[in-house]
Amino acid sequence: MKRPGSLCVVGTGIQMMGQMTLESESAVRSATKLLYLVTEPVTESWLHSLNDSAENLWPFYKEEKPRIETYTEIVNHILGFVRAGENVCAAFYGHPGVFVYPSHEAIKQARAEGFAAQMLPGVSAEDCLFADLGIDPGWSGCQSFEATDFLVHSRKFDENVLLILWQVSCIGVATHLNSYSTPGLAVLCANLCETYGSTHEVLLYEAARFPVCSPVIHRVQLGALTSAPVTGISTLIVLPKAKSIPDLEMMKLLNMPASWPFANVRQRTAPR
């Protein structure tokens, strides 16, 4: 039997207001306690108009304060209302399950304590990226890593497939910063140059946060990355080095025709 009190975690999307789903908006309206973490005042004001109990979680962040400490305090704050019997809605910028440690941890702990807890999806920066850049990850694949994780764990990747690296502004940084980490970006740049070369083209992308604005897209050479206009929400997109070569023997094994649209068979037969 579930205990009194519940938790529903939702996403507000990237752009203000318009990217929240109807399902999430309903959860925001019906909650007896609304907690939120968003990046601009218009969405904040809108959330307050939907629910009088709205409370901003941003004060938990402090300059140079360890992020894990902030996350733990946010989780405890959310669960405090759940344990008190409130039907809590926690709204986070973007998708609530993408780079949002407190959302996953709060749901995990709430369920372990016998409370009903769920997450509703939202529009993420990746969703906006695919739309803005005209990228279909199902066509030729896509690799996606958090930048620090990519370096620390020496992640294996295919240089001929699109590579997306998130949170490039805070590589190797465990505290909250209002500026980006130049040393970390330099390490990433040197690492990628070993595979792609310094003249390879990359993109620095920022999704538009307002309907009247366009996404920010800077095209730079990899070797010039450290002097590029990086911000706290920049995502690095490394374009494929070359086209992937299909395995014609595998295509035959799968009874696929040479004209299969996802296979660029006109280049050459894959080497053996």
Catalytic residues: 67, 71, 93
259, 263, 268, 271 alpha-carbon torsion, rounded to 10°: -130
Do 96 and 122 form a contact (C-beta atoms < 8 A)?
yes
CB 86 within 8 A of CB 33: yes
End-to-end CA distance of the chain: 60
Strands 235-238 vs 201-206: parallel, antiparallel or unpaired: antiparallel
- Evaluated on CA atoms 170, 173, 174, 175, the torsion sign reads negative
**Spatial distance between the Cα atoms of 175 and 68, rounded to a whole number of angstroms:** 8
**What is the SS3 assignment for 223?**
helix
